[in-house]
A and B are shown apart, each in its own frame.
Chain A
Amino acid sequence: MVRRMKTNRTNFRLPLVPYSLWIILFVIAPIGLIVYYSFFDLGGNFTLSNYSNFFTSVYLQLTVSSFWYAFLITFFSLLIAYPTAYFLTKLKHKQLWLLLIIIPSWINLLLKTYAFIGLMGLYGPINAALEAFGIGKHQILFTDFSFVFVSVYIFIPFMILPIFNALDKLNPALIDASRDLGANAWTTFTRVIWPLTLNGVKSGIQVVFIPALSLFMITRLIAGNRVITLGTAIEQQFLVTQNWGMGSTIAVFLILFMVVILLLTTANERGMAGSGKKR
């Protein structure tokens, strides 16, 4: 019996090897390199000037506007994804419907973006519809609206998925219990469903907010360079200006923001259980 316990515990050490290798090579090393390069200028000399550059108004403004857009994108994704995920779990063939939500994300991102350029264009169907309703033509492309809309469109399956999983795991007996105890639909939602699916929401926010900070293709094609995000700035420094040092510095700050967001949204199981008990 003792021997068996021991096998059970020391089990599964071997699979750790490739996974750890991956962590070292593709998680730790790249971040280390980014930090290292951020201390060098174009000529390869050690410098702190990249950091002092970052604290000029240009980059600070860029950071603030990046955050604002990322916030808007995440907010609207959540607003649309939560009810969608909720209604999906109520359907008969919910896994099939979930698949149908995911299929569009298999169509190349660039193709969909390209479709939106056509859809939202001055001669596109949306403007034709607007005209038919007597509202008249509007410049939809190259506006904040089109940027946020297309970004939400791109991210929404990735928001729906974790929320769907959380809702799907929810024991329906809990909802019945809540109803039996006299809670109305709203109370049931805020006190039972929402807290229990918060982890799904948090992972949804993680997978939307941070990529939203770094969008650069959509800013070019849909926002017509009107929106410059941290991602656009990094891409420019790396691939256009070839200034890896400055690009790395912006990346370092992006990583720092990312860590903060992670700390704020990482599911804390113990904390959840505690707050659950208090209620």
Chain B
Amino acid sequence: MEKNGKLAKIYLIAVFVVLYAPIAYLIFYSFNSGGKMSHFESFTWEHYAAVFEDKRLIGIVLNTVIVALLSALISTAIGVMGAISIHYMRNKAMRNVMLSMNSILMVSPDVIIGASFLILFTLVGIKLGFASVLLSHIAFSIPIVVIMVLPKLQEMSPTLIDAALDLGATRKEIMSRVILPFIQPGIFAGFFLALTYSLDDFAVTFFVTGNGFSTLSVEIYSMARTGVTLTINALSGLIFVITAGLILGYYVLKNRPRTPASGVKR
């Protein structure tokens, strides 16, 4: 068992090294005073200064973040509603249909989502730009939220609701005091995953974005052939530090105040 534990640790370390290698590589060269991602010359902050001077780049980053946050929020709201209504659907056949419908977008290749949304937006007359990108991101994030919330609903014993009813709770109270708190971990997981998908998306955005609007992925793709400047490296360094900081901060905050109940669970 001890030996197993050691092997497991080595394996995990290897996985983490590979996972973080490209990021470390990007950040390392962001301090390179030579203009390229090879031959480290000397340490400099100049590329970081360049990030803050580049108004266009900052605008694109803001676009990306705003789209990600808004789409994650809205898709979480709709997804949670969807998961709850699917879970409490009495008609089994209908339920299965809904579940299959839900999986469609989740497993749809990005190009298909992008291409079909492009047709849709063109036909309906939505101008390609912020609105079309946001709508697309909401649309492809909803099923992810549903998938993350449904297992929590299944875990929840129906007796909890019966108990709440017996104690005189109204529907609204059952929702806000029983169901939502119980499925909260699933909601958070769904939100974060939606955020991840949005920040990470390239293909769908590439299809539905117009001339005036660009997210980071699309911008870097168009730069990739002509050569990316180290400003982008510096930017990715900043993004990494901020996201990692936020996540770890969230984790620490969540785990510090130990209520008696959570203490018992452990």
Chain A residues with CB under 8 A of B123: 33
B26 proximal to A (CB < 8 A) = yes
Residue of A nearest to B235 (CB): A111
Residue of A nearest to B121 (CB): A30
In the complex, the answer to whether B110 meets A12 with C-beta atoms within 8 Å is no
In the complex, the answer to whether A100 meets B16 with C-beta atoms within 8 Å is yes
Determine chain B's interface SS by DSSP, over half rule.
helix
- Chain A 73-119 interface residues, beta-carbon cutoff 8 Å to B: 80, 83-84, 87-88, 90-91, 95-97, 99-119
Residue of B nearest to A239 (CB): B207
Shortest CB-to-CB span from B95 to chain A, Å, is 11
In the complex, the answer to whether B200 meets A266 with C-beta atoms within 8 Å is no
- Chain B binder among A47-55, A187-195, A247-255: A247-255
In the complex, the answer to whether A95 meets B109 with C-beta atoms within 8 Å is no
Q: Which of A90, A235, A244, A261 contacts B107 (CB 8 A)?
A: A261
B58 proximal to A (CB < 8 A) = no
In the complex, the answer to whether A251 meets B220 with C-beta atoms within 8 Å is no
In the complex, the answer to whether A217 meets B221 with C-beta atoms within 8 Å is yes
In the complex, the answer to whether A95 meets B81 with C-beta atoms within 8 Å is no
Shortest CB-to-CB span from A265 to chain B, Å, is 9
B176 proximal to A (CB < 8 A) = no
Q: Which of A7, A27, A210 contacts B171 (CB 8 A)?
A: A7
B116 proximal to A (CB < 8 A) = yes
Shortest CB-to-CB span from A46 to chain B, Å, is 17
Chain A residues with CB under 8 A of B117: 26, 30
Q: How far is the CA of A249 from the CA of B82 in the complex (A)?
A: 31
In the complex, the answer to whether A104 meets B20 with C-beta atoms within 8 Å is yes
B261 proximal to A (CB < 8 A) = no
A216 proximal to B (CB < 8 A) = yes
Q: Which of B88, B115, B239 contacts A247 (CB 8 A)?
A: B115
Chain A residues with CB under 8 A of B63: none
B66 proximal to A (CB < 8 A) = no
Residue of B nearest to A34 (CB): B116
A-B contact count (CB 8 A): 244
In the complex, the answer to whether A22 meets B139 with C-beta atoms within 8 Å is yes
B156 proximal to A (CB < 8 A) = no
B257 proximal to A (CB < 8 A) = no
Chain B residues with CB under 8 A of A251: 111-112, 115-116
Q: Which of A88, A90, A214 contacts B110 (CB 8 A)?
A: A214
- Chain A 188-232 interface residues, beta-carbon cutoff 8 Å to B: 203, 206-207, 210-211, 213-214, 216-217, 221, 230-231
Q: With A111-B236, A238-B115 in contact, is A103–B110 under 8 Å at CB? A: no
- Chain B binder among A121-129, A140-148, A271-279: A121-129
Interface size class of A (residues with CB under 8 A): 35 or more
In the complex, the answer to whether B203 meets A217 with C-beta atoms within 8 Å is yes
In the complex, the answer to whether B116 meets A210 with C-beta atoms within 8 Å is no
A186 proximal to B (CB < 8 A) = no
Q: How far is the CA of A111 from the CA of B112 in the complex (A)?
A: 23
Q: How far is the CA of A100 from the CA of B12 in the complex (A)?
A: 11
In the complex, the answer to whether A111 meets B98 with C-beta atoms within 8 Å is no
In the complex, the answer to whether A84 meets B100 with C-beta atoms within 8 Å is no
Shortest CB-to-CB span from B8 to chain A, Å, is 4
Mark each residue of chain B from 75 to 110: 1 if its CB lies under 8 Å from any CB of chain A, else 0.
000111110111010100000001011111111111
Q: How far is the CA of A49 from the CA of B90 in the complex (A)?
A: 45
In the complex, the answer to whether A22 meets B25 with C-beta atoms within 8 Å is no
Shortest CB-to-CB span from B170 to chain A, Å, is 9
In the complex, the answer to whether A102 meets B196 with C-beta atoms within 8 Å is yes
A56 proximal to B (CB < 8 A) = no
Chain A residues with CB under 8 A of B120: 25-26, 29-30, 33
B243 proximal to A (CB < 8 A) = yes
Shortest CB-to-CB span from B265 to chain A, Å, is 13
In the complex, the answer to whether B139 meets A108 with C-beta atoms within 8 Å is no
Shortest CB-to-CB span from B78 to chain A, Å, is 5
Q: How far is the CA of A247 from the CA of B228 in the complex (A)?
A: 30
- Chain B binder among A13-21, A57-65, A170-178: A13-21
Shortest CB-to-CB span from B88 to chain A, Å, is 5
In the complex, the answer to whether A216 meets B244 with C-beta atoms within 8 Å is no
Q: How far is the CA of A247 from the CA of B115 in the complex (A)?
A: 8
Q: With A34-B112, A108-B200 in contact, is A206–B107 under 8 Å at CB? A: yes
In the complex, the answer to whether A96 meets B162 with C-beta atoms within 8 Å is no
In the complex, the answer to whether A211 meets B116 with C-beta atoms within 8 Å is no
A72 proximal to B (CB < 8 A) = no
In the complex, the answer to whether A105 meets B196 with C-beta atoms within 8 Å is yes
5 additional A-B pairs beyond A4-B166, A19-B142, A251-B111, beta carbons within 8 Å, are A8-B161, A33-B120, A103-B243, A123-B38, A234-B115
Closest 10 CB pairs of A and B: A214-B109, A15-B81, A30-B116, A19-B82, A115-B22, A26-B139, A16-B85, A110-B220, A87-B8, A118-B37
Pick 27 A–B contacts, CB within 8 A, sort by A: A11-B88, A15-B82, A27-B105, A31-B116, A33-B123, A80-B15, A83-B8, A95-B251, A102-B192, A103-B244, A104-B23, A106-B199, A106-B239, A108-B239, A109-B202, A110-B224, A111-B26, A111-B232, A112-B23, A115-B25, A118-B25, A118-B38, A217-B203, A217-B206, A217-B221, A244-B119, A255-B112
